[in-house]
Amino acid sequence: MLSKNLKYLRAQKGVSQREIAADLTITRARYAKYEEALSEPPIEVLLKLCQYHQISIDTLITVDLKNLDQKTELIENS
């Protein structure tokens, strides 16, 4: 779930992997591994990601944000 949410949140902000990585003071390659689910971020980076996206850790790692947004949009439009 984490990797999907990271991709989704980045797309929502309209920023590149390089931009997020720079803000987190990590390499783009390292950040890409988180989005590709090839690696999991250490807690320090996870906290920075949550601050960057203004989201709680539990939501970031357990909730399908894309699906949640789609359901919310359907409810709002009905």
In the chain, where are the structural domains located? 2-77
Residues 6+ away with beta carbon under 8 Å from 12: none
Q: What is the pLDDT of residues 44-54, one digit of tens each?
A: 999 999 999 99
- Considering the chain, what is the average pLDDT of its residues? 90
Q: What pLDDT shows up at residue 76?
A: 55
**What does pTM read for this prediction?**
0.84
Question: 2-77 domain in CATH 1.10.260.40?
Answer: yes
Confidence of residue 66 (pLDDT cuts 50, 70, 90): confident
CB 49 within 8 A of CB 56: no
**pLDDT of amino acid 68:** 78
The CA radius of gyration of the chain, in Å to the nearest whole number, is 13
Of all residues in the chain, what percent carry a pLDDT higher than 70? 87
